[in-house]
Structure 1
């Protein structure tokens, strides 16, 4: 049975709340003073607190409740706190909600509104506990593994990395697929770093950045004079990686002649440098990546089918950043490196944006914001992203300043009423108040 703690010096209010929540299956404890509340908190596992803001006759400023809130929040940060009072300044309510209060309910309260607020708060608490357990399980699953500084929070990335670590000890060729900028090289790093070859060379080649006429020489080497400008013998990437791994990014750009040589290396480990008849042998694990459809390239005659099956013993499909939204804010904070925090408005804009350039675009946006932001906190305007509606979500400028102020005035300063009038959540209203610099109606 879920256990609620009501902290209020008015005994009839305590009794009314006990009756209301008992009918819904909750167990309700009452404290008539902060001292009694501390005693109950030490004796019981409380799931949620309903707290008044004034505990002495004649007190209407809320300072007593403010002091109690910060003390409880500091010692019991996981317990949701819903504030209840008829006598508190709006500025203080905004401050406490920003500091972590779950909601503010004005007295006299609406029973259904209060029950819904408590039910939602308990659901969020349960979700937070599930996320904490998932994080603990994730940490246990990756204990002792080298994740090469990859930052993630999504279940999609966790599953992909678990599969990556499962493949790492083998010598099987792996093809990593995914859009540009999604982080394919990071997955390749994890494959090599957790393999028996981790202390051997790991050679990376961006096939998309190499001229077609130099690809074979780059991969397999060339003798002096083998082509114009080859004044000395050149060691190829495969030869340099002997005993280790080679990562061929954008492998779909490899010429057909280069594909034939690559197929031979994968089948036999043998190759010749350009301009040489001497056969050389290497032991190399191949990791490839592409953002293109290689099966379509096979149908066009641009990619060898037999090579495709050689490089694609196992495929790791990396989702676009928009398909793993839980990774957006952790990645953004990582790129900001603790130099500046993100405002609530900036966080919402980052979370709602579709990121066509994936992780690379997010990194660039964060670096730009650090350079341009003149505040201690990065604001949404610093990000340089369009304020558009994404996936049916509203963004901060869909309600202008005048509309917001008018709604607050009509609601008499009651945040829940103003939010309902505007058709947004209470948290969304507070974000817009921050966005427009509104501290009070």
Structure 2
């Protein structure tokens, strides 16, 4: 079998075409470049590449239209969609339309080359993406940070699937929002989405909440009750804080996941359901398994696909856009003028630790909408606890950094190193340069 090696690059940005052509050519790949969708479709009438890399938004025929027309006649041809408008809807639409991969801009050139090589390998094995149906579902998920782009990609890849998903993330990172997005971009989108927080239900009511009960099953059970599994039949059941589920309920859940049926509390007739389970937790389930607090077999049932949500501090580049969204939302809800963050407040927000993550940012924006005077928010209008939080964070970070540096210096001196400053300076420079490159997207 001859290896696939010809790639077509379609982008109205000349610099992107140039960069990709040079990088791919250096890797031994034959490259042809096109500045618009019309020209690549015209060329496709007389020849066929092994892989196409297409920008999403271009004048005239856009990337999704190019993708649709390519897959109509070449359903196994891998197409990589690139875009500077890297939101969830674009990611999902790309995957659902049959894209092989989705590459947000600005991209790391090594990642682009590696992705292209994977696509060429798939073309060689005749294993390209399959066509699908474009779906546009508005969500409130916002994020250009690389970690959030990975989440968007995963949601896109899962858009044709009914597979169970486990979401990990700190409190306030948006686990339920991701679960809703998984549902809205799935084959079950027209069916119910039912959510249940395991940590918010009294232990003795969990079984009835999940599986329902028959009349007279226990004191106070005056009538039959349908549980969350039956309510979600055909759709998605979101089990938040799954790590707090009692052990005896874990056993029942395992059986439902394995067999698709259960008995209501006090019932003698099995109930069959077709439910996709999306579970979430802020806890380390592996540790709970080791401590015998969570069933290992249930963990493996749930942990088919795992999504890790970043903390807000780890996606600080998203804070300005998130804050703008929340301020606009709060203004609309309360019927007042939308507040605007001054540049110094935006910078200040980007440096906060945000232990409550996105939920904390949303609550702060609500507070500012109600309590702050004027339209533009300045530092002196922020809640006092928010200013104190920054001070505590800086003191903690400074202390930790000082301690680590002191420990390193002692180890070097004890090991016989006399010129520790000469050793340290290149390390500092490299660290600062890498941080600057990450912050600016390599620009």
| TM-score normalised by structure 1 residue count | 0.57
CA distance in 2, matches of 1:380, 1:325: 18
1:411-426 correspondence runs (5 A): none
Q: Which residue of 1 aligns with 2:371?
A: 372
Bigger Rg, which one = 1
Q: Which residue of 2 aligns with 1:127?
A: none
1:352, distance to aligned residue in structure 2 (A): 0.9
Partners of 1:178 and 1:319 within 8 A in 2: yes
1:14-413 correspondence runs (5 A): 134-136=83-85, 140-143=90-93, 144-146=135-137, 148-337=139-328, 339-384=338-383, 385-386=386-387, 388=390
Partners of 2:91 and 2:156 within 8 A in 1: no
1:255, distance to aligned residue in structure 2 (A): 1.0
Residues 257, 360 of structure 1: alpha-carbon distance in 2 compared, 3 angstrom cutoff? same
Gaps of 5+ in 2: 1-81, 94-134, 332-337, 398-443
- Deviation per residue, 1:132-191 (Å, 9 max, x gap): x85236575344442522122212111211112211321111000000000011110110
Partners of 1:370 and 1:378 within 8 A in 2: no
1:370, distance to aligned residue in structure 2 (A): 1.2
SS in structure 2 opposite 1:355?
A: coil
- Which portions of structure 1, spanning 4 or more consecutive aligned residues, are displaced by more than 3 angstroms? 136-145, 387-392
Gaps of 5+ in 1: 1-132, 395-441
| TM-score normalised by structure 2 residue count | 0.56
Bigger Cα displacement from structure 2, 346-355 vs 135-144 = 135-144
CA distance in 1, matches of 2:172, 2:361: 9
Q: Which residue of 2 aligns with 1:88?
A: none
Q: How many residues align?
A: 261
Aligned-residue RMSD, C-alpha: 2.0
Residues 391, 170 of structure 1: alpha-carbon distance in 2 compared, 3 angstrom cutoff? farther
- Deviation per residue, 1:165-221 (Å, 9 max, x gap): 211321111000000000011110110001110001111001110001000100000
CA distance in 2, matches of 1:168, 1:376: 41
CA distance in 2, matches of 1:258, 1:197: 26
SS in structure 2 opposite 1:136?
A: coil
SS in structure 1 opposite 2:345?
A: helix
Residues 158, 345 of structure 1: alpha-carbon distance in 2 compared, 3 angstrom cutoff? same
